[in-house]
Amino acid sequence: MVEVFITNVQSSEKANSVMQDFEILFPHYIVNFDLEDCDKILRIESENINIEKIIRILNEKNIACKILE
């Protein structure tokens, strides 16, 4: 399963921080950002993805995000 999120992450430092946090919280997720895309894409791959938890964690970090449809 792959979920793609639109975010407002602008810096590679912020993206790296999120990826490090997700490595600890969700060690089975494969996480990456595409900051060159106009939508600042966050891509998560795993068998099971907790979308609500992902959005909540990002919002707590003042990162806007929504599922790319």
Coil vs helix vs strand at 14: helix
| Model pLDDT for residues 4-61, shown as the tens digit of each residue | 999 999 999 999 999 999 999 999 999 999 999 999 999 999 999 999 999 999 999 9
Domain boundaries, the chain: 2-67
Coil vs helix vs strand at 50: coil
What does CATH list as the number for 2-67?
Answer: 3.30.70.100
| pTM for the structure as a whole | 0.92
Amino acid present at 9 = V
Residue in this structure with the two tokens 């590679």, named with its chain if needed: 12
Is residue 39 within 8 A of residue 6, CB to CB? The reply is yes
Sequence-separated (6 or more) residues with CB below 8 Å from residue 58 = 5, 7, 18, 42, 64, 65
Q: Does the pLDDT of residue 69 top 90, yes or no? A: no
